[in-house]
Structure 1
């Protein structure tokens, strides 16, 4: 029987098809210790998993690497969900990782991520549901262990920042099975009595098991229902819990929670001084505006004063009087000129004016004689000269 000769690529591709079609190899959960770790500039992560007697190459591509909640380290024990395949370029067998969890905490991380995704979809983390921080809280409610480091940090920071702020401690268990129920009671207590402006819940650092009470769904729902703003301060800066996401504000540490909640006392005095100055300026500006209005109204009143109206009326009357006098004088002048013209015409035609030139007026029986034929010899005639009249007879010329 003749055996078919295959190329290297054909062998690698054949091996890859076998591996890719194997159900178990496509749904692996492998635990081991990380070695040969390399974070590539492309965003991919290359490493090996090893145990006491074996080693296997692994790769986690960028899109999956971005979902990691922690940074891989040499020697770290992990559990990875992966599929096995063959890289045909060099015939190497390797794992393609989708998820990586720290060994021993895998189930807790899975539970955490599932609850986080569920509450996020239901709107528990939405920015619209977050309550605004009061401007100057006067009383801070703290739900935590009465003997832990967290409460001491909160008290110390509060006293250092502002001696006027009251702290009300609700002692609660924050570790151990069912401890979250104590935290819920504290939140309910402060909401029922409405005795504080802000609530801080939290504890110091610890393992994920130590912090697990702050990942309980029942506590998350109580935080969401609170009418008082809640600051979550659980563990250290790198620690995240469900309470951090659902609370109105997340503080990296209990000390930072106190810094967020407590206003600096010196800033209060600065604020009071600034407010006082602002009020004074506002009052002065208002007074200046009202003064300007008063001056304006006074000016308007003067312009529209009855006395001014009367004075102005006098001026109008004087103007009308002057105008009337001018019209009368003009009319009189015109009439005088007309009368003078008529007089001149009359004088020009006045017969007595002719007497001054040596002429005479002859009347016969009071009738002015204009021709010889009108003379009556039998009667006396009257002759009027410049300086008087005489009577007599006349004798016709031959």
Structure 2
């Protein structure tokens, strides 16, 4: 039997036309749980719609997304209407959504919100509990799948930024029922290694189910208990897990986690230059401040210098000396005048002045003045004081009158 040979493009085009012309598929109303929601910067929304056994990829263009009254999030149960068609270039069919409304919240989303509230109330998300990421790590530990794209991205970014940083990989399950236990063991193991400075917990993108190991309470508590800082790089920019909230720093992707943890050589040099500049400025500022203080203290010392005090005291002494000299001069002049006055007064009343008139004074040996002739009779020798001197004389009595 003859079968016509057609190209892939023709086949995809035929399937597209067939689906586009189907009455049910042109106006489909489908309910399910949102998964792997990504809101593009263009305004388009990409997501999956799933139930217990199947899922379908969906897209809602910006023109229709603008009419939504809520922000689609993973785990929401929604009702969507639109058309099923084929993206010819990839040969895949998807649901092009015209509208969407909330039909309830999925079980995983309910569990997520419940645990989030519980841990938040316990303070596991508090900023004061976060550990600072070291600026210059020498060795980083990475917990992720050894075969996934995440580890390759982390290694490539680290080697590109700073090949002096060592990487220790703890290969762990990142999906499935046992992944949570493996991740906890990895955190405990890397915490026991002394020279590890920081830990990266990472995996590539996926649906909420695929990322669920990072929403487990046992993992969250292991992160909170860690003595070493943990940076999470789980999924894509729009993916948030409980681990992200508990960790010390969240990165949107594994690559960004490596960029946060590992500084480039240029960044290190720039930081060193900045630190050097800051130190230089601080030293200059401190020296200038100290110089101003010294100048101020110098002025204070000069104002309170004992030299200034002594100079002032000398001035005071000189002033007092001058005043004292003036007073002494006045006193001496006064005393001199008094002495002169008394001298003149004494001179005026000096009994010896009478000697100038020819009188004399006669003394006995005891220097008593002899004023009577009878006293003179008993003396053999007398002293006679005249105006021009005195002497001792013998008395010879001739007669008496």
| TM-score bracket relative to the smaller structure | 0.5 to 0.7
Query: Which residue does 1:33 correspond to in 2?
Result: 30
| 1:69 CA drift (Å) | 1.8
Query: Which residue does 1:154 correspond to in 2?
Result: 154
Counterpart-to-counterpart distance in 2, 1:252 and 1:335? 111
Query: Which residue does 1:250 correspond to in 2?
Result: 250
Counterpart-to-counterpart distance in 1, 2:242 and 2:263? 27
Query: Which residue does 1:279 correspond to in 2?
Result: 279
| 1:143 CA drift (Å) | 0.6
Aligned to 1:199, what secondary structure does the other structure show?
A: strand
| 1:224 CA drift (Å) | 1.7
Query: Which residue does 1:17 correspond to in 2?
Result: none
| 1:109 CA drift (Å) | 3.2
Query: Which residue does 2:203 correspond to in 1?
Result: 203
Query: Which residue does 1:259 correspond to in 2?
Result: 259
Q: For 1:1-398, what aligned pairs fall within 5 Å after superposition? A: 33=30, 66=70, 69-70=73-74, 74-75=81-82, 99-100=103-104, 106-290=106-290, 316-334=316-334
Structure 2 gaps, min length 5: 1-27, 32-67, 85-100, 349-401
Cα RMSD, aligned residues only: 4.4
| Higher deviation after alignment, 188-197 or 127-136 | 127-136
Counterpart-to-counterpart distance in 2, 1:67 and 1:99? 14
| 1:275 CA drift (Å) | 1.9
| 1:214 CA drift (Å) | 1.6
Q: Would the alpha carbon gap of residues 108 and 320 (structure 1) be closer, same or farther in structure 2, given more than 3 Å must change?
A: closer
Counterpart-to-counterpart distance in 1, 2:181 and 2:329? 114
Aligned 8 A contact 1:124 1:246 in 2: yes
Q: Deviations over 1:358-393 (max 9, x none)?
A: xxxxxxxxxxxxxxxxxxxxxxxxxxxxxxxxxxxx
Counterpart-to-counterpart distance in 1, 2:277 and 2:284? 10
| 1:300 CA drift (Å) | 6.8
Q: Deviations over 1:260-283 (max 9, x none)?
A: 222343232222222223323333
Q: Would the alpha carbon gap of residues 210 and 305 (structure 1) be closer, same or farther in structure 2, given more than 3 Å must change?
A: closer
Q: Would the alpha carbon gap of residues 311 and 111 (structure 1) be closer, same or farther in structure 2, given more than 3 Å must change?
A: closer
Q: Would the alpha carbon gap of residues 32 and 120 (structure 1) be closer, same or farther in structure 2, given more than 3 Å must change?
A: farther
Counterpart-to-counterpart distance in 1, 2:134 and 2:171? 24
Q: Would the alpha carbon gap of residues 289 and 126 (structure 1) be closer, same or farther in structure 2, given more than 3 Å must change?
A: closer
Q: Deviations over 1:5-64 (max 9, x none)?
A: xxxxxxxxxxxxxxxxxxxxxxxxxx9516xxxxxxxxxxxxxxxxxxxxxxxxxxxxx9
Counterpart-to-counterpart distance in 2, 1:288 and 1:116? 54
Counterpart-to-counterpart distance in 2, 1:299 and 1:112? 71
| 1:205 CA drift (Å) | 1.1
| 1:253 CA drift (Å) | 1.0
Counterpart-to-counterpart distance in 2, 1:111 and 1:317? 97
Query: Which residue does 1:364 correspond to in 2?
Result: none
Counterpart-to-counterpart distance in 1, 2:301 and 2:125? 65
Aligned to 2:125, what secondary structure does the other structure show?
A: coil
| 1:310 CA drift (Å) | 6.7
Size of the aligned set, in residue pairs, is 270
Q: Deviations over 1:167-221 (max 9, x none)?
A: 2221212123312222111111111113322211121112233222222222122
Query: Which residue does 2:15 correspond to in 1?
Result: none
Aligned 8 A contact 1:33 1:76 in 2: no
Counterpart-to-counterpart distance in 2, 1:166 and 1:183? 21
Q: Would the alpha carbon gap of residues 68 and 197 (structure 1) be closer, same or farther in structure 2, given more than 3 Å must change?
A: same
Q: Would the alpha carbon gap of residues 323 and 117 (structure 1) be closer, same or farther in structure 2, given more than 3 Å must change?
A: closer
Counterpart-to-counterpart distance in 2, 1:214 and 1:142? 15
Aligned 8 A contact 1:68 1:99 in 2: no
Aligned to 1:193, what secondary structure does the other structure show?
A: coil
Counterpart-to-counterpart distance in 1, 2:341 and 2:127? 108
Aligned 8 A contact 1:198 1:228 in 2: yes
Aligned 8 A contact 2:29 2:81 in 1: no
| 1:304 CA drift (Å) | 7.3
